[in-house]
Amino acid sequence: MRVVSVNESVFIATNRTAFGKRLIDLPLMRRQLAKMLVTAEQGRSMVFHTARVLEAADRGEANMAKVLRIMTPLVKFRTCRDARKVAGDGMEVRGGCGYIEEWSDARVLRDAHLGSIWEGTSNIVALDVARTVRREDALSALETYLAGLNEETESVLGSQPAVTEAFKRAAGLLHAVAHDPSREVETRQAASAVYNATSASVMAWESARQTALTNERSNDRLVLAHGVLRHKLGSRDPLAASQSGEDDDLMSLVHTTLSDASIAEAAQ
């Protein structure tokens, strides 16, 4: 659903002109699309990777059953929650036409709100994430699994300290919160951190896999992984100037790879 919103948005931004320029060539629009893209692709990676983990768990790998146990509520919590934001942004990109019922946006936005209810509400599934840590030691299982994934990534792409460090810090927070009832109010923050850090590892690994399969360096998923680290796990002074060019890699991803693919898809 979120991917639909991004594809629709890129299609609109590529075809609509305002102030004598295509929307996609306007800096603020490209930044908006880049942030939508990071969040949507995170969700895609987490859902597909959870399916991969499910297959391994079904083959009887005990550790993978634990990894599945924590990844499932992570996805139900954060992917569903993020769908609301991306679908709302997609409506905004279409402007006034996005709000009226003649286009798909209103339906996509309404449906995007359902996941966070019928999959379990955000509070409840975040509490379930903490329960898996407390009762089933699922966070250690995820840690071991991601260490293996990161090793595979680094053997192809070279060292990725920011990716590995992000998970260590996020896991530390979740572990502390899950074992301290007085910190229940931080449960969603901690579960979000682990979701974001896990997705960064998974996306970096996807770049490594793609590189290994094609024998050609493939950076797209790695760029998204670093987008996650910057936008979801980094801290920034809201009064400081942005570092020049910090999102250039993401913006060019929107402009090149994604726009061509979505235009072709939308035209079908």
Ligand X SMILES: Cc1cc2nc3c(=O)[nH]c(=O)nc-3n(C[C@H](O)[C@H](O)[C@H](O)COP(=O)(O)OP(=O)(O)OC[C@H]3O[C@@H](n4cnc5c(N)ncnc54)[C@H](O)[C@@H]3O)c2cc1C
Interface ranges with ligand X (CB under 6 A): 117-118, 120-121, 123-124
Cα three-residue angle 44-198-253, rounded to 5 degrees: 50
- Least separation in angstroms between residue 156's CB and ligand X is 41
- Looking at the Cβ atoms of 183 and 231, the one nearer to ligand X is 183
Distance from C-alpha of 235 to C-alpha of 224, rounded to nearest angstrom: 17
The alpha-carbon radius of gyration of the chain (Å, integer) is: 19
Within 10 Å of residue 51's Cβ, how many Cβ atoms? Answer: 11
Tell the smallest beta-carbon distance from residue 30 to ligand X (Å): 35
d(CA 4, CA 89): 12
Residue closer to ligand X (CB basis): 87 or 253:
87
Compute the least distance from the CB of residue 222 to ligand X, in Å.
35
Q: How far apart are CA 6 and CA 257, in angstroms?
A: 13
CB count in 10 Å sphere of residue 180: 11
Residue 21 φ then ψ, to 5°: -135, 155
Tell me if residue 201 falls in helix, strand or coil.
helix
97/124 with CB nearer ligand X = 124
The whole-angstrom separation of Cα 135 and Cα 83 is 29
Give the DSSP letter of residue 241. P
In this complex, which beta carbon is closest to ligand X, that of residue 73 or of residue 98?
73
| Shortest distance in whole angstroms from residue 126 CB to ligand X | 9
Shortest distance in whole angstroms from residue 67 CB to ligand X: 24
Q: For ligand X, give the closer residue by CB, 19 or 118.
A: 118
Q: Least distance to ligand X from the beta carbon of 15, Å? A: 34
Residue placing its CB nearer to ligand X in the complex, 111 or 152: 111
